[in-house]
Structures are given as C-alpha cells and as structure tokens.
Amino acid sequence: MAKTFAGARLRRLREDRGLSQAALARLLELSPSYLNQLEHDARPLTVPVLLRLTEAFGVEAGYFAPSGSARLTAELRDSLGEELAAGRITPGDLDEVATRTPAVARLLTDLARGRRDAAEQLAVLAGDRGPGAGARTPHEQVREFFYRRQNYVHELDVAAEELAGAVKLRRGGVREALAGRLATGHQVRIVAGGGNLHRYDDRTRVLHLSDRLRPGQQAFRMATQLAYLEHDSLLSELAAQEGPEGSAAFSLTRIGLANHFAAALVLPYRVFHDAAEAARYDIEHLADHFGVGYETVCHRLSTLQRPGRRGVPFSFVRVDRAGNVSKRQSATAFHFSRTGGTCPLWNVYDAFAAPGRVHVQVAGMPDGRRYLWTARDVTRSPGGWGRPGKTFAIGLGCEIRHAGRLVYAAGLDLGDEAAATPIGLGCKVCERPACPQRSAPAIGRTLAVDEHSSTFVPYAVRADPEG
C-alpha cells in the first residue's frame, strides 16, 4: 500500500480551525514533534491517526488521499497549458504543487484566470470581437461557484430537508404539500396560465405557473419560491461571495442557490440518497419513483456529497447537438475545460444518434483515470405544430472505482484498462497528439508543417516543441 503524505492538507485544516500545533497534538493524543513531522511530510499518515483526524475534524478520510489533488491538477493543466507545452514546467511539477500546496495551486489558477480575462478584455477593446472574446460571463462565475463547492451547499441542503419534514412531504403529494406551505405560511396563491414558465407577483402574492409545466416541474417552481420566501437572507449571504449585490453574478448565484434548495426540498437528502443506493443509481427508476424528470434526477445525484452520508461522487453535464455546454457540475476529479470545448469521442454525443435509451461508456483520460459515463437525450417541446423544441444530452459520470455501485456497470469488465475509450478535456488542451478526431491544434504546441508529407493525424506537432 502506498504511503500517504498529507502535510499541507493537515496544516491548512489546522489553521482553518484556529488551532496551534500544540493544541492539535493534545487533541489527537500525539507528541508535538510527531505532529510537526506529519505536517512537514517527514512521516506518512497512519490509519489510527487518520481515524482520529476524521473524528476530530468531521471530514472524510478521502480529504487526505492523494487522489484528492487530481481535480486541482487538471485545473492547473487547463490554466497553465501554454507553459506546460513550452516545457517551462512539467506535469510532475503541477502534481507536486496541487498535492503539497493546494492553496498555492488555487492561487495560480486564479491568477491565470485573471490574466486570461484581462487578455480577452484587451482583445475586445482592440476590436477583436470574434468567438471567445470577452471576460468570464456571470453564468461562468456561477458555474465556478458551485464547482468549488463540489456542487453541494450544506446550509441550504439541510434547511430544505428540515422544511420537507415540517410540511410532511410524501411521494405523490409533493405539489399539494408545497402549495399548502405557500398558502398558510406566506399567503401565496397559485394561478395557472400566463406567458412565462413562472412569474411571482410580490404585490398580489400570486405565483403564476404555466399550464404546460408537468407536475414535477410545478413542484420545483413552488419549492424555488419557498427558497426566496423562507431563506432570502441566506441566499444573499452566499451569493455575496461571488459578486456584489446588484451585479448579474450576484442575482444569477441567488437563482442557482434557490434552484439547489428546490431540488433538495423536492428530493430530500436522506430519502433520495437511500432510494438511490437501493436502486443502484438507476436513473430512470428514480425518475419514475419520485415523479420527476431524468435531468432532475441526474442533477440531484451530482449533489449527494453531505459529510458522513456521501453518495457516489458524480460529474454532471448538459450539452446540445452543437457541443455547447449549458450546465456542468462536478464532485469528482473530472475537470471541464473552459478553453478547449468538449471531446467528440465522449458518449454524450451518441445520445443524439440513438434517442430514448441510456448509453454507457468507460472513458479513459490522459492522466490515466477512468470514468463510467451514462448519457441520454431529453427533449422539451413548447407545444404546438411547427414550434421548435429543445433537445439536450445529459451526461452523468463517476470514477471507475465507484462504478461497481451502479446498475450500469453490469456486464462490463471494469478492470480492463485497454477497453476504455480514450477521451480528453477538449482538443485545444488535449494531450493526445495521435488522436485522429482532433479538430484543433493544441495550445502552445509547435506544428510539424511539411509541404511534401502528410500524416493520418490532424495537426501533427514537433517532437520537441520550441520554448
């Protein structure tokens, strides 16, 4: 078994809790010198010490695992791709920084993001308004807000579960219970009809819901309104971490948090977690069981990261036929690149070719990690002949070490690494130079251009890129 050195994580955890080294040593019943050696990676963590740490700090053992740095390493590779390709740093350097000094790694990604945003703003001012011009959008800021929290907001999730218990939420009676809470607790009436999916009039205390919404969607809109009515100050407090009040990022973060609360209210954590475990994460079964949509179940599954009661850590993504990503969240080491789009070999795109069924893929990343991905299409029609609807592919994936807990792993040889489909973060940052599906040259790599020769590989690169 490999030894676990987690000095930087241990030191950061101690400092966050305001403990001195001597105080933590007393708490763990260790000598100060031994704790000092642990924090400086002179000694590895032993199982007894690890158990004491998880009990003392209320964290999962995985917090100290080396695999916990994989996601941060992927972010560094995405942010510092040009420096990596030019040979100024190596993948080993990035892994070392992410593993030993995660706070420094996060600072580097923030600095790289700021530099990229400044360059894009400068391009706009200079007149370059082509694709990709402009700084991070407020929507991207909100995505990163939830990404940093592994798509789980503990305060809201617990508050929603408590409310579900207070209104005695039961399967098959969710709409009636939520409507009752709105009426008796807030004097809010629900009226069907209107041109929008929903609209709340604070003056008249009327919540208008479109008659085209399915029952599960109506319940979700009611639950969202309850988030604003019962936890408005908490929504604002959390949203202020992303942007000042009045900004687009602030308002969009509040909407995202209200939606998070709504999902946790309609599908309370313990009830949903237990059902998911019992059904081996069968998405279609859970959708039928709770009377909600396929996408709603996938999104809720990606949030089951409560300490002490964690579900399978999932990554969630929603894409359209053109490859545009409209939703992405991750509780795993899987990193969605902001630079290079998505990989065309990913099975989420198979969902459009064979609609109505769940597609399963074991995918291998360039860093050697493998994931089990499920994908299925969802279609929304506005109703009426000739009116265009919306079709998306919903992807849900987990690391291969968790795949055995899923019904979708039945019949698969999860131990066969060669059977995994090799995918990447996106063509512009992908490290697979021999991929025949590549649609763009990798950032920072020098192309091998020869007028008298061609290869089967698009955008062939030199073996030794120029510095």
For 353-386, how does the pLDDT look when each residue is reduced to its tens digit (9 = 90+)?
Answer: 999 999 999 999 887 889 999 999 999 876 667 7
What is residue 464's predicted lDDT score, i.e. its pLDDT? Answer: 56
What is residue 72's predicted lDDT score, i.e. its pLDDT? Answer: 72
Is residue 458 pLDDT above 60, yes or no?
yes
How many angstroms from the chain centroid is the CA of residue 271? Answer: 22
Average pLDDT, the chain: 84
Could you tell me which CATH number the domain at 137-266 has?
1.10.10.2910
Indicate the domain borders of the chain: 7-64, 68-135, 137-266, 433-467
Contact between residue 279 and residue 286 where contact means Cβ atoms under 8 Å apart: yes
How many angstroms from the chain centroid is the CA of residue 415? Answer: 26
Confidence of residue 288 (pLDDT cuts 50, 70, 90): very high
Q: What is the C-alpha to C-alpha distance for residues 409 and 394, in angstroms, rounded to an integer?
A: 18
Confidence of residue 132 (pLDDT cuts 50, 70, 90): very low
Q: At what angle do helices 70-79 and 91-100 cross, to 10 degrees?
A: 130
Is residue 71 pLDDT above 70, yes or no?
no
pLDDT digits (tens, 9 = 90+) for 212-255: 888 889 999 999 999 999 999 999 999 998 888 989 999 999 99
What is residue 269's predicted lDDT score, i.e. its pLDDT? Answer: 97
What is residue 307's predicted lDDT score, i.e. its pLDDT? Answer: 82
Mean pLDDT, to the nearest integer, of 81-109? 74
Distances from the Cα of 296 to the Cα of 216, 246, 361, angstroms:
9, 29, 21
Helix, strand, coil % over all residues of the chain, rounded to 5: 45, 10, 40
Higher pLDDT, 98 or 84: 98
Residue labelled with tokens 């062939």? 460
Closest of 74, 53, 75, 76 to residue 65, by C-alpha: 53
Angle at 165 between CA 177 and CA 290, to 5 degrees: 60
Q: What is the C-alpha to C-alpha distance for residues 344 and 350, in angstroms, rounded to an integer?
A: 10
DSSP bridge partners of 398: 372
Mean pLDDT, to the nearest integer, of 11-16? 79
Angle at 447 between CA 445 and CA 452, to 5 degrees: 165
Confidence of residue 337 (pLDDT cuts 50, 70, 90): low
DSSP state of 24: H
User: Percent of the chain having pLDDT more than 70?
Assistant: 86
Q: What is the C-alpha to C-alpha distance for residues 230 and 453, in angstroms, rounded to an integer?
A: 68
Q: Which of 53-57, 200-204, 267-271 has the lowest mean pLDDT?
A: 53-57
What is residue 241's predicted lDDT score, i.e. its pLDDT? Answer: 86
What is residue 219's predicted lDDT score, i.e. its pLDDT? Answer: 94
Distances from the Cα of 326 to the Cα of 14, 88, 319, 371, angstroms:
38, 34, 6, 21
Is residue 466 pLDDT above 80, yes or no?
no
Distances from the Cα of 252 to the Cα of 49, 247, 255, 299, 303, angstroms:
42, 9, 5, 18, 19
pLDDT digits (tens, 9 = 90+) for 296-332: 999 999 999 888 888 999 999 999 998 888 888 877 7
Tokens of 408: 């979708």
Topology classification of domain 7-64: 434 Repressor (Amino-terminal Domain) (1.10.260)
Q: Which of 73-77, 224-228, 344-348, 423-427 has the highest mean pLDDT?
A: 224-228
What is residue 258's predicted lDDT score, i.e. its pLDDT? Answer: 97
